[in-house]
Structure 1
Amino acid sequence: MKNISIEFPGVKALDNVTFTTETGKVHALIGANGAGKSTLMKVLSGAYNHYTGEIFLNGKKVTIRSPKDAQEHGIQIVYQEVDTALIPYLTVAENIMLSEIVHHMGKRQFVNWKNIYDKAEQILASMHVNVSPKKLVSELTLAQKQMVLIARSLLQQCTFLILDEPTAPLSLTETEELFRIVRDLKQKNVGVIFISHRLPELFDICDEITVMRNGQFVVREKIENTTPNKVVEYMLGQKLEEQFPKYDVAIGQTVLEVKGLYDTGKIKNINLHVKEGEIVGVAGLVGAGKTELCKALFGASKIVSGEIVLRGKKLTLKSPYDAVREGIALVPEERRKEGVLVQESVATNLSAAYLNKFSKPGGFLDFKGEKQKAQEMIHILGIKTPSTETKVQNLSGGNQQKVAIGKWLVADAQVYLFDEPTKGVDVGAKKDIFELIAALAQRGKAVIYASSELSEIMGITDRIYVVYDGEVVKELETKKTNEEEILFYSTGGK
């Protein structure tokens, strides 16, 4: 890709970027949020057509202005937001074989369903993915959905496969499975372009790395010639300081107490408590039940038995509305699906959780007040946005996450639940999020921090509950434990 530039209203997303890779190699594309890496790959996969610059394949200039153009040249992409690329009410096989089904229907031919299911089964088997082709996509885990998308890409003659944040939703074993597939593809001379923020895994799987910053190309290096610290310095344009803020916070009274909590599916007999100014970690592997616990505490899933007590008052949470009214806030894992209104402006999102603060008599909104508060929050949170009116879908992942958190700061809750808050967020934005969470604790808020990133749990929490298979299996004091011990209990160790 040569001298690629692209602009969106108020944002120059790519500025004369050159990117080179080849088949049979795994190439990492990395940069802070908003560096332009996803945008560059959207140009290559035909999602954006209003760019300037040229693309060459095998030294020959090619035209890529639509996803169809890209696919004809063997370029496939698996996006970070897997749900947007799959049809939930169709089966696994129907999703994998989608283009073939559409092709037959377009020609008014009958679809040979046996053939469709056989082919889907063969490709899943070749990837060693143990999912029934007859299962509905809506019943799959995030990791399985990703495997379905990769299977679909491989079915169509694939020369280059772009994986955007592929491991963000995956557990350790699922990540290893994905890496096995990536190594297989490399053997078959497919070029894999890997966008990720997790440096250790890039150094494990990639041959080369390209770093971008502020929409520009910074450096391309062979993996063996560089180090994680050097890469971070390229990304940030400066040396990396301490990531986790160090504050002394006086721990106060118990704010939230959970006793014998069961939901309809995953979580069983959960007992925990959080005090004023305390950051309590909920650690566990992907699928352990951390998200389900957060949703139950936020009234978003049905509680079968047990108690949630807030400052001595027993709560009945039938919906998130009840939770918000009682002063409980949730920043969910699936931010685009559940944490922000992607089609709305930054200002609308920031005021969404506390609209009555901005309502005038007669039910009218105080737009001026809303805009002022939004500007204040953009400044406090360091949200990179051209204006308060920019649609949230045009922001980078880290900035979307800051908006998801920001709306709760406007609402001023008592208990803050963070579910994988740094998923798909770069080093710089992570640091901002940790600062934010530490500042909440300083203000005497009770914070629950659910994450499968053990280094973060160790870096930011005071106490830790380890969750395995929907149950709390161990309570640990952060100062007196280490990542190995947490991992031992996370994997079912007794």
Structure 2
Amino acid sequence: MIQAASPTESARARGPSSDGPVESAESDRPALLKLENISKHFGGVKALQNVRFDIMPGEVLCLAGENGCGKSTIIKVISGVYQPEPGAVMRMDGQSIEGLDPARARELGIQVIWQDLALFPEMTVAENIAFEQNLGSRPRFVDYSRMRDAASRILERLGVSIDLGRSVRSLSIAQRQIVAIARALVADARLVFMDEPTASLSHAETEALLKIVRRLSSDGIAVVFVSHRLAEVLDVCTRVTVFRDGKYVGTFPTAGMTQTRLTELMTGRTFDYEVRKTDLSAAPVVLDVKGLSRAGEYSSVDFRIRKGEILGLTGRLGAGRTEIALSLFGMTRPTAGAVTLEGRALSLGSNRDAIRAGIAYVSEDRLQLGLVQQQSIGDNTVSAVLDDLLDASRLISMKKRNALIRDWIQKLAVKIGKPDDAVSTLSGGNQQRIVLAKWLATNPKLLILDSPTVGVDVGARAGIFAIIHKLAAEGMAILLISDEIPEVYFNSDRILHLRDGRVVAEYVPGTTTIDQIERDVHA
């Protein structure tokens, strides 16, 4: 049985059955974009095989599938980055479009907001939004007044306010997303692809972004939404097009669709969602936190984690979840309270102290803090235990290093080419397994997981949680932090609700419904 996060099905059901695919949202309306027989090969790899689907004017369509299913490839075909194989048919407003390149795609109103956003960090908000208006075949002076006016109009249209003179580097991820959307609108977008727009956003920031997506739809702009967060997909989209292994599975109405059904369509597998049923009342306490406080971040926090227990910690943006984790890992110092690990008082001056004590921390920012993207899979795996690999001459023993890398790749079933390949070549799910391997190699007593499935698709999530459950079964104490209620509900023995830096409630999955927890957290 695979256990993974899923919301309650009754909370998501919204109408008739969605088992059958539909080919268009409204048959009496012409499609904005219609694709037929789209294939793309890279050598012997068939990234897309006879894909077909359509996009209606002003609709919000989800493009769903696991990593590697062809989502990014089809977006690059539609935006002119890739040319499809002969025989492909692409029509926009009923007119055939052939030989599409990025410039022509932009002229047609096709815009893509990639996950990295492709913004200029040192330039201002206004410059990022309206810089294309100053591009041309001949040099000319930049009209900053015109640029600011254009940026201001677009932000007003979106119903948001951002200082036009601020550098993009100083903005939050959520604000950068808005800048990227505004830039697309300045270019007269009619069809906007959003690739994982909420992967790094909190619940509150996600809600604000979805409000903007709905506003775009009401203005007649079609949005194709790519996201691994299935709850928000079902919330904001009217239809979902599913790809699997480069093939078109079907297009389905979201009315009546559930996360479980959508997961099955994406993976071709059936997942059983059950709460954990473990009695750990007699297990020894591994971590004991009493009265932990840090001015301005959290206050009077008390909890225990027993051997083999997974304690979930959830709450809204600013609740103090990550701040508590950073203190437990020695990155910040609490101003009051006490922490003991296996009965020994902890006084951590740095993360090195925490590692030596037996604490490991998987950060929510895998790309920036979890891995060194340019380094190899092997180097990332052993980066936290280099001292353990030294030989008698105080040099790294390649025999020990390679054995350790082999061992963890095998234990965690990481799909790789070669250990010397850059870790950036791996999928999100396999990158997260390498992050886990890096910290598990330290042999921790307490494993802190801060949003461990950010940017990971549903199939890979199930695999990661299977690993986490196995670690708990072997006796590891685990603190699981997430703002996705289903994630903590189906993968924790107990759940703490944090609000404004304080623990306000404790739940036991199965005795409290997921609906109740969601109502409490988002009240």
TM-score, normalization: structure 1?
0.86
Other structure's SS at 2:506 match: strand
- After TM superposition, the structure 1 = structure 2 runs for residues 183-222 of structure 1, keeping only pairs within 5 Å, are 183-222=214-253
Partners of 1:337 and 1:39 in 2: CA distance: 25
Is residue 2:192 matched to residue 1:127? no
For 1:61, the equivalent position in structure 2 comes to 97
> Which string of whole-angstrom CA distances, capped at 9 and with x for unpartnered residues, describes residues 259-285 of structure 1?
443446533443333222221111112
Q: For 2:75, which of 31, 35, 41 is the aligned residue?
A: 41
For 2:417, the equivalent position in structure 1 comes to 386
- After TM superposition, the structure 1 = structure 2 runs for residues 157-306 of structure 1, keeping only pairs within 5 Å, are 157-224=188-255, 228-242=259-273, 252-263=283-294, 265-301=296-332, 303-306=334-337
Instruction: Name which of structure 1's ranges 361-370 and 404-413 shifts more when overlaid on structure 2.
Output: 361-370
After TM superposition, give the deviation of residue 219 of structure 1 in Å: 2.6
Other structure's SS at 2:441 match: helix
> Which string of whole-angstrom CA distances, capped at 9 and with x for unpartnered residues, describes residues 246-270 of structure 1?
5665752222233443446533443
After TM superposition, give the deviation of residue 226 of structure 1 in Å: 5.9
Cα 1:133–1:211 shift into 2, 3 Å: same
Structure 1: which 5+ residue stretches go unaligned? none
Cα 1:69–1:270 shift into 2, 3 Å: farther
For 2:4, the equivalent position in structure 1 comes to none
After TM superposition, give the deviation of residue 51 of structure 1 in Å: 7.1
For 2:29, the equivalent position in structure 1 comes to none
Partners of 1:431 and 1:243 in 2: CA distance: 12
For 1:423, the equivalent position in structure 2 comes to 454
Is residue 2:427 matched to residue 1:396? yes
Contact 2:58 2:216 in 1 (8 A): yes
Is residue 2:433 matched to residue 1:433? no
Q: Which amino acid aligns with 1:437?
A: I
Relative contact order, higher structure (CA 8 A, sep 6+): 2
Cα 1:487–1:203 shift into 2, 3 Å: closer
Cα 1:12–1:403 shift into 2, 3 Å: farther
After TM superposition, give the deviation of residue 457 of structure 1 in Å: 1.5
After TM superposition, give the deviation of residue 57 of structure 1 in Å: 4.4
After TM superposition, give the deviation of residue 161 of structure 1 in Å: 0.9
Higher helix share: 1
Partners of 2:348 and 2:89 in 1: CA distance: 54
Identity of aligned residues (%): 34
Other structure's SS at 2:415 match: coil
Q: For 1:446, which of 477, 481, 490 is the aligned residue?
A: 477
Instruction: Name which of structure 1's ranges 472-481 and 391-400 shifts more when overlaid on structure 2.
Output: 472-481
RMSD: 3.2
Contact 1:283 1:486 in 2 (8 A): no
Other structure's SS at 2:396 match: coil
Instruction: Name which of structure 1's ranges 283-292 and 67-76 shifts more when overlaid on structure 2.
Output: 67-76
Q: Which amino acid aligns with 2:372?
A: L
For 1:486, the equivalent position in structure 2 comes to 517
For 1:359, the equivalent position in structure 2 comes to 390
- After TM superposition, the structure 1 = structure 2 runs for residues 51-130 of structure 1, keeping only pairs within 5 Å, are 56-58=90-92, 59-64=95-100, 68=103, 70-81=105-116, 85-100=118-133, 103=135, 107-112=139-144, 114-130=145-161
For 1:27, the equivalent position in structure 2 comes to 61
Partners of 1:96 and 1:285 in 2: CA distance: 30
Structure with bigger gyration radius: 2
Q: Number of aligned residue pairs: give it.
A: 484
> Which string of whole-angstrom CA distances, capped at 9 and with x for unpartnered residues, describes residues 162-218 of structure 1?
112223344455434333322332233322111122334333332332212233333
Cα 1:441–1:225 shift into 2, 3 Å: closer
After TM superposition, give the deviation of residue 69 of structure 1 in Å: 5.5
Instruction: Name which of structure 1's ranges 221-230 and 369-378 shifts more when overlaid on structure 2.
Output: 221-230
Structure 2: which 5+ residue stretches go unaligned? 1-34
Q: Which amino acid aligns with 2:49?
A: N
Cα 1:87–1:327 shift into 2, 3 Å: farther
Contact 1:243 1:431 in 2 (8 A): no
For 2:503, the equivalent position in structure 1 comes to 472
After TM superposition, give the deviation of residue 154 of structure 1 in Å: 1.6
For 2:49, the equivalent position in structure 1 comes to 16
